[in-house]
Amino acid sequence: MTEDRPSWDAYFMDITTLVARRSTCLRRAVGAILVKDKRVLSTGYNGAPGGVRHCAETGCLREQMQVPSGQRHELCRGIHAEQNAIIQAARHGVSISGATLYCTTRPCSICARMLINAGIEKIYYLEGYADPLSEEMLAEAGIPLEKIQGKGSPVSMEAL
């Protein structure tokens, strides 16, 4: 094996970063994948639902109203990457119970609630998100939340 071969975490996070490139959100491109037994179960990126005009066409209402990040999600046309990954798995009959989420951004509290109820067992992410309730609920549910740094090396939340 070569030293250039990525770890599993780096491999999955690289895929997640590529998925994020499909985003149609004007404010933040987010990608998410659900993985179990080293296999990708589902992918998702943030943007308007299928068959609905993208924000690039309509403009961003939250941006126009100067809504800070992490607030007033109900004003957004888009659906979050984590939500899309869950929905895609459901549409195709794929169980995600016991899966791990890799996401370019730490989930918001809305997504955290969905991930908890979907049975997600662990979450890796690249960037933080301004939603402390998310961290609190995931901790209470016993779901480890780890930030990936550098070349896919996880850093426990306790170490931050």
Annotated binding site: 80, 108, 111
Residues forming the annotated binding site for Zn(2+)?
A: 80, 108, 111
How far is 8 from 61, CA to CA, in rounded Å?
Answer: 38
Cβ(42)–Cβ(83) under 8 Å? no
How far is 115 from 89, CA to CA, in rounded Å?
Answer: 13
Q: Is 13 left (phi over 0), alpha (psi -120 to 50) or beta?
A: alpha
How far is 74 from 80, CA to CA, in rounded Å?
Answer: 12
Query: Is residue 3 among the annotated active site residues?
Result: no
Q: How far is CA 3 from CA 6, 7, 9, 151, in A?
A: 8, 10, 15, 12
Catalytic residue among 82, 121, 127, 140: 82
- Residues carrying an active site annotation: 82
